[in-house]
Chains A and B, each alone.
Chain A
């Protein structure tokens, strides 16, 4: 169980770092959203899963409370993160930011 927790912590740290680096490596808003959303959601989910495992190992009322709260936080992250990034992408497109070096832009052609 302890080893499982360490593995989850390591995965979380690595992928969260990947998300932070992706913010600097990509050229425009949309590609940055790609990296930031996917990697931080995946990484945070594994960080929170590590806490779930820790609470289950600890046991007792405090440990179970930790498990409950971490699991709820996991659900919230999974629900709100992609929705927020979708809102940001749509707003950026409506504000007139063009995708960098786009091969095709169907949304621009519709004219919304």
Chain B
């Protein structure tokens, strides 16, 4: 019981860090800064999903986390490409 609660608490702490990163997402002076913030948030979200899945006994959420990890990588690559060449 206490183990599951500790996992949920860790997920909540990571969620607070997501808010800190969202601050950089809001104020970041250049587009690249915002892209870095989004990349960081994506990594944190994957970890949060895995922790929540373990805490609430839902293996399905872990599947979502796996797909999210790969799709967020593709998204980062597209943002990088847009930064390089503009919208084409």
Direct contact of A and B (CB under 8 A): yes
Residues on B with C-beta less than 8 A from A69 are 50, 53, 59, 62-63, 65-66
A44 and B46 within 8 A (CB): yes
CB within 8 Å for A20 and B21 given contacts A66-B59, A77-B69: yes
Interface size of B by Cβ–Cβ distance < 8 Å? Answer: 46
**A29–B24 CA distance with the chains assembled, in angstroms:** 11
Chain B interface, DSSP helix/strand/loop, else mixed:
helix
- A16→B59 contact, CB < 8 A: no
Residues of A within 8 A of B53 (CB): 51, 66, 69
Tell me if B70 counts as interface (CB < 8 A to partner A).
yes
Given known contacts A40-B43, A47-B10, is B76 in contact with A88 (CB within 8 Å)? yes
With beta carbons under 8 angstroms apart, the residue of A77, A84, A90 that contacts B46 is: A77
Tell me whether A62 and B57 are in contact in the complex, defined as CB-CB below 8 angstroms, given that A48-B47, A80-B73 are known contacts.
Answer: yes
- Place the interface of chain A in its size category: 35 or more
Q: What is the CA–CA distance of A43 and B10 in the complex, to the nearest angstrom?
A: 12
A13 touching B32, Cβ below 8 Å? no
If A72-B66, A81-B43 touch, whether A33 touches B36 (CB-CB below 8 Å) is yes
Which B residues touch A37, using CB under 8 A? 39
From residue 9 to 56 of chain A, which have CB atoms closer than 8 A to chain B? 9, 12-13, 16-17, 19-21, 23-24, 29, 32-33, 36-37, 40-41, 43-44, 47-48, 50-51, 54-55
Q: Closest residue to B77 on the A side, CB-wise? A: A87
**Inter-subunit contact B69/A20 (CB<8 Å):** no
Determine the chain A residues whose CB is within 8 A of the CB of B70 once the complex forms: 76, 80
Q: A16-B47, A51-B54 are in contact. Are A90 and B20 (CB under 8 A)?
A: no
Residues of B within 8 A of A95 (CB): 31-32, 83-84
CA distance A83 to B84 in the complex (A): 16
Q: Do A76 and B13 touch (CB < 8 A)?
A: no
How long is the Cα–Cα vector from A65 to B83 in the complex, in angstroms?
A: 39
